[in-house]
Structure formats: C-alpha cells, structure tokens
Chain A
C-alpha cells in the first residue's frame, strides 16, 4: 500500500504555507571600504540608449555611479550642474548654452569635451538608437560645438523641460571611444562613463562590481568600490542587511520595516515618491462623465486611513494631482472622507437606492468595474478591496477585476470601444521630475479619443483650459509664468476629479550605520553616489 499520495499532499501544503520564509545563502562578507548594495531589481544593461538602463530602477541606480550627466537632480529634485559648470536657456526656450568643466576624462582616458557631448546628444536624438524616453528627447533638434568647453543644444520648439531631460538618467554621457570600440550592441555590457566609479566586473542579472575611478574630476569617491547584488525576495534582503552581508537594501516592504527598526546597526531611509496612485475614471461612461459622481466617489474612500493603516504611515494622502516633490507641485486641495456628503452628491446627481441598497438612475445601476493589477503598485489588491468596500457603503457596486501583471498595461491603453474598465488603478512616475511632463502625460487632451490614448490620458479627460495652461507651462519664457500656469492646471484638474485620488507611497530603503551618504530620491532611486564607508 503506497501512502505517497497522502504524504505528498500534506507535505506540499505545509511547504506552501512556509514558502515566503526564504532562506539566505551565505553572502560573502563585504570588505572594508567596499559598499555592498542588495537590490530588488537586477542590473541587466548599462546603456542610456537601446532601451535605457534595465531593469528599472536597478540599472538607473548603477548608472548614477558610472556616468556623469550634464545636469543633476539634488535630493529635493532641484536641478544642479554636474558636467556642466553653468547653463543658460535662451529667451525663446529653443536653445541652451552649456559651459562644460574642463579637464574631465572618461574612464578610458579619452576627454569628455564639447565634441563628446555633441556625439551623446546626437546619439540620444536618434530614434533608431535610442528607443525609450522619447518624449524627453524628441524636441531636441541638434547640438553645436562652440569651443572645447562650450556646446549649444537646440530644440525644434520652445522646450522649457530641456534641463530636466539633461538631468534625467538617460542624459548619461557615455564615452564615444567606447561606443566605437564595443559597438552599439556591445556597450550595454561594457559601459564607460565619466562618473566617480568605473566597472570592474559585470555579470548581468546577478552582480555588478564597481571600483573608484582615480581620475574623477569631483570629490574623491567615498568608497573603494560598490557591489550591486540582485536579491529578489524582500525577506532575503532584510536578512542580508541584518547579518551585514550587504550594507544597503532598497524596496523594504512597509509591513517588514518593523523588523529593522529595532536594529541598532541599521537605519531606515524614506522619501515620498513622485508617483501618485489613483483610480483613473473612464470618462466615456455617462455615469462617470458627471463631475458630481466623480467627486462623490472621491469623498467615499478613506484615503488618509489607507495611507496610515495599510501602509503603516509610509504613504501620504495627496494634495494635488502631482506628488509633493515633483517640480512645480502646488497644494491645491485635500482628500476629504465624508460619506454623508458623498451620498448627498449622488442623490443630487439623480441616483436613488434600489431595493438591494445599490444606487440607480433611470433604472441603470451604479455598478463599476475596477481593474487593478496584482503586485505592480504597492498593496494594490488590498487598496482595491478597500475602495470597493468603501464605495459599497455609499451604495456604489464595485466589481474588482484583478489582471495579471504582464497583461495589465494593455487593458489600460485601449481604443475607446475596447475600454472594459470604469475605474483602473494607475500611477505615473515622472522620471524627469517635471510636473509639466506629468500633467501633460496624463491630462492633455488626446488627439483622437476614439483611438488609443496618445500618452497616458487613458480616461479621455478633456479640458481646453488645461490644455492651454500646459502649453504656457511648457513655453512661457519666464519661469514664474510657467509655474503659475502649472499651478492653475493642477487646480483645474483636481477640481474636475478625473481620478479617484489615492495614496502617494514612500520609497523605503535601509542602510547600515557604517555607511553614510545614501539617499533615496523621490524618483524611486536609492542613490549611492555620495555614499561613504570607513
């Protein structure tokens, strides 16, 4: 008599319940002066072109150390000089004169001069070579060398966000000689930049070893080397930093932070992100075309409580369509939880409760289909469940449709006729930190609402005034005028409530106290550029 079936079954179930515990392999103890960083995403390619640095954000984090850019974002997303000593935008916002630092060399010894910058700008302009981050590079028309340390970048139309593009990760300046040597296809595995660290060994998908670049123009790097290790499981990352196998980890799940808070050797570093999460409303539906309904839905969900309870305080309720640290963000409102007011607004809009408690108007029930992914956004399924339950309390029926991660974006960006959702969870991360870029991506009217959305205006929002303001925000010569227009646009969008605004999550990393200078940037990246280890 075989009892194998029985045993297999029972053992399998037991295994299932302990699956996430995760065991840690013996990581090599990090050497003095070398910082080991346990990353949640693997570094796969290190070329700003050809699909940019992958995987996101792991590749970008490594690129921050290997490459310098003309401009940089500081910890608060202000734009500051890096390879450029100074820059001047022309009054018509169609060109930018950049004065370069002199005497800068790449890791391979070749000079990082005006000719190298021109080569880089032209390379990133090229649609064949640089396939990603196109909205950032499309407006650029060319670059001219004035002298050894001066270069002028031209745009085809007024483009106030040019400095944002140059400061963006894809603005990494690569060595033209290395492109020549390794070819367009080979550079991603053999990156050469002018940053504080150069590549010593690169095993794509597993480990990247960097060593300090002796010839760096700026302050001497704070460590003799930095090792990027890919550790997918959060529990394993936490074990690794607890034992000292790594010095830095990123993407600490908020429910596991408490494990690290009691540890005297480890410091938790947090920063609100640039990606406000929300539910895009399908404005092509007659129900949701009514602003009263949209406002009522916003009033019915306890966003502040979600931020406080579900995310253990590592999230905040928004006060604008933009996140707090986005350039141009303006506080334009606050999320209010008031279900009585929500009910009153819905009644005003003509809805009355049926026998089952679900609101209806002209015999049509207020029943919404909520699309959400599983694991794309923090706590996405839990948040969807809470939204559904909260809306039920004011008489709105919500059916959750959990979509497999890989298929999710396709469901969002559909022709009008194929939009299956009424509410869809979405969050946009403006990687160049520009509020204008963010608002234009989400709320600028689509050229054709019947077809696929131009960028991410998936709900078919349309407000001519917002469109005009966004043009001003992009092209007005005075910065104050641009910011004023952007602020006004935020007010209008907030008032129109084309989203059910949800939380803005914080990026949480952890650093051992022996390492200093690690920052978490609002755009997800854990930045080790200024990190030092004794």
Chain B
C-alpha cells in the first residue's frame, strides 16, 4: 500500500511540474518580450509603408505587414507590453480590492457583511463589457479605462472567495487563541487569517490573469482598447478582421499570441494550484 501511494504521488508530481513549468517558461518569455520591446523588434512598430501593405509573411517581414504596411511581428512584440501590463495591473488591483472587501466582510460578519455582500452582488449583475463601454464613452478609450473595467469584473468573485475562506478560518482555534491573548483585529487579520487564505487568492489571481488577457483583448477588439496607433493585441485583431479573407495572417498573428498568453497564465495557475492545494486533485 505505501508503495502505491508513493507512486501515485510521483505521477501527480510529474504532471504538476509539467503545467507549472510550461506556464512559467511561456510567461518568462512574454515578460522578456514586454521588457525588451522596441530593442528586439525588427522594425519600428508604427512605421508605415503604404506601398507594402497586407503583404504575406516573407523573409523581410516574418509575420507579414498589416493594412497600413506596418511590420506585424514588431507590433506583436511591442504590443506584449500593453496586453501584459493591463492584465497584471488589473489582477493586482483586483487582488487588493477583493481581499480587503472579502476579509472585512468575512471577519466582522453581521451588518458589515450584509452591506459588503450586497454591494458585491450588485457589482456581479453588471457585465464587464457593459461597464467597459460605459467607461470608454465617458473617459475615452484608454489602457487605464480598460484596466479599471477588468479590475471591476474580478473584484466581486474574489471578494466572495476570500470571504468564504475567512469565515472558515475565523472559527479556527488559533484565531480564538489570538483573540484570548488580546490581539487587535487588524493584527489577527494580517498575521493569522490572511496568510492562511493566501493560497486561494494566489491561485485565483493567476487564473484570473488569463481571463484578464482575454477580456482585455475582447474589449480591444470591440474598439474600447488603447488609442491608435498603439499595438495592443485585441485592437490589432479588431482592426484586421475586415481583411480576414484577403490576408488571414493579419488575424492569425495576434490571435495565436493571445491564445498562447492565456494558455501560459492558465497552465501556470493550474500548476500553482496543484502545488499549493494537492487535495483538490482528483
């Protein structure tokens, strides 16, 4: 029997590593692209050549040129920064907001809980696309608006998750002990409860990052993304859809890039979950 358990765990461990490593490797690659950007792009991402538009991939332009004759590979590389920073910023902000709301609601309970839960439920009823359109109409399309819209869509579910975990932890003996020795609420929350809830938050956020890329790209696709000529992937995808039949490579390049980045985040998140929370594995 012990032998069988060990073997199963080993097999599990191999799978965990695969996901984590694939995700992590891809992410490191994307981060490197985002950081290096212009310095490794073969062309200026905004340099146009009207006499070389919609060209198919060639040696000079590895991924071809777009509808105003810009090098797609260069735009893709430089665009990594927009897509990645929007995703990471929104996940980071959502993490702060969601944890704060969830922890306060779960820990204090009572009226505070009811009010916060009410607000969360209210927010859950507003679809993020609608929110983003509203924001874009008021503030104009911008990376900031996009980040706010995505953040707003992640806060409510995260707050609910954290609240549940905190309610669970609040009943633990070590919390009771901390209360008995007269620790302040802030200290108990920060030192005892949140560290124990961190795993859930980290896993959720890493999975959210993939979603953030997707929502950000979708909003960019709908024309609510960054201002032209900034090469954000979703915006690139949206601008090239009219040329789908004429020059399919225009759509393929950002499409594949978005898929890969989402894959990276989700594989990484799944891998993390397996590391931190082996119990959730079937």
Which A residues fall within an 8 A CB radius of B? 1, 3, 5-6, 9-10, 12-14, 16-21, 234-235, 253, 255-256, 258-259, 302, 305-306, 309-310, 374-375, 381-382, 384-386, 388-389, 399-404, 406-407
Given A10-B259, A14-B259, verify A402-B223 contact (CB < 8 Å).
Answer: yes
Contact yes or no, A5 B141, CB < 8 A: no
Chain A hits for B229, CB < 8 A: 385, 388-389, 400
A247 to chain B, nearest CB (A): 22
* Contact of B72 with A by CB under 8 A: no
Residue with the greatest number of chain B CB neighbours at <10 A, chosen from A6, A310, A403: A6
Contact A404 B141 (CB under 8 A): yes
A-side contacts of B146, CB under 8 Å:
none
Chain B contacts to A: CB under 8 angstroms: 46-48, 50-51, 53, 67-68, 133, 136-137, 140-141, 207, 210-211, 213-214, 217-218, 221, 223-224, 227-229, 234, 237, 239, 241-246, 251-252, 254-256, 258-259, 262-263, 265-267, 269-270, 273-274, 280-282
* Known contacts A6-B267, A21-B244, A381-B228; A16 and B137 CB within 8 A of each other: no
Cβ contact within 8 Å between B258 and A305: no
Check A19 against B241 for contact (C-beta < 8 Å).
yes
CA–CA, A10 to B269, complex, Å? 14
Q: Which of B136, B218, B221, B258 is close to A404, meaning CB atoms less than 8 Å apart?
A: B136
State whether B262 touches A402 (Cβ < 8 A).
Answer: no
The contact of A12 among B67, B214, B256, B274, by CB within 8 Å, is B214
A306 neighbours in B (Cβ, 8 Å): 50
Name the residue of chain A whose CB is nearest to the CB of B280.
A1
Q: Contacts of B262 on A, CB cut-off 8 Å? A: 9-10, 12-13
Query: Can you name the residue of chain B whose Cβ is closest to the Cβ of A406?
Result: B137
Residues on B with beta carbons closer than 8 Å to the beta carbon of A5: 207, 210-211, 266, 269-270
Q: How many A-B residue pairs have CB under 8 A?
A: 132
Q: Which residue of B lies closest to A373 (CB)?
A: B223
Would you list 28 pairs from A and B whose C-beta atoms are within 8 A, ordered by A residue?
A: A1-B274, A5-B207, A5-B210, A5-B211, A5-B266, A5-B269, A6-B210, A9-B265, A12-B262, A13-B255, A14-B255, A16-B217, A16-B255, A17-B255, A19-B221, A21-B244, A234-B242, A235-B244, A256-B242, A256-B245, A305-B51, A306-B50, A310-B50, A310-B68, A381-B228, A385-B48, A386-B48, A388-B229
A407 with B137: CB separation less than 8 A:
yes
Q: In the complex the two chains form, is A255's CB within 8 Å of B242's CB?
A: yes
Determine the chain B residues whose CB is within 8 A of the CB of A14 once the complex forms: 255, 259
Smallest CB gap from A385: residue in B: B229
Q: How far, in Å, is A372 (CB) from chain B's closest CB?
A: 8
Residue of B46, B244, B274 most packed against chain A (CB within 10 A): B244
Task: Please give me the residue from chain A that is nearest to B225 by CB atom.
Answer: A402
A13's contact among B50, B214, B239, B246, by CB below 8 Å, is which? B214
**Residue among A13, A258, A404 making CB contact with B217, cutoff 8 Å:** A13
| A375 to B241 CA separation, bound complex (whole angstroms) | 13
Nearest CB of B to A53, in Å: 28
